[in-house]
């Protein structure tokens, strides 16, 4: 995941959550939000779910072009159960 974000940033990935303006290999800007797994686990327990945590951190996340987050088995199971 850090390699993908680093490539889009053109610099080392800061390794934390937040909105990012990434650049595709073709030079197009991509409005993205990065939500690394360590934050997902911490904030999921605080907010009850990853979706609620995303809502709390970035209310505009549904409108962004790209959401980058690692899917754990537990998160994947929760997504499929919806």
For residues 26 and 80, the model is more confident at: 26
Is the pLDDT at 5 greater than 90? The verdict is no
DSSP code string of 18-31: EEEEEE-TTS-EEE
* Predicted local distance difference test score (pLDDT) of residue 72: 63
Distance CA 28, CA 52 (A): 30
Strands (E), the chain: 18-23, 29-35, 66-69
Q: Give the chain's mean pLDDT.
A: 75
* Predicted local distance difference test score (pLDDT) of residue 56: 92
CB-based contact 22:5 (threshold 8 Å): yes
* Predicted local distance difference test score (pLDDT) of residue 19: 85
The pTM score is 0.68
* Predicted local distance difference test score (pLDDT) of residue 55: 92
């Amino acid at each position: 995941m850090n390699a993908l974000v680093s490539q889009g940033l053109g610099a080392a990935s800061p390794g934390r959550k937040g909105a990012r303006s990434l650049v595709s290999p073709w030079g197009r800007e991509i409005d993205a939000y990065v939500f690394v797994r360590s934050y997902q686990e911490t904030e999921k327990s605080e907010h009850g779910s990853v979706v609620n945590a995303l809502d709390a951190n970035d209310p505009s996340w549904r409108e962004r072009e790209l959401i980058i987050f690692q899917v754990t088995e537990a998160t994947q199971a929760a997504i499929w159960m919806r």
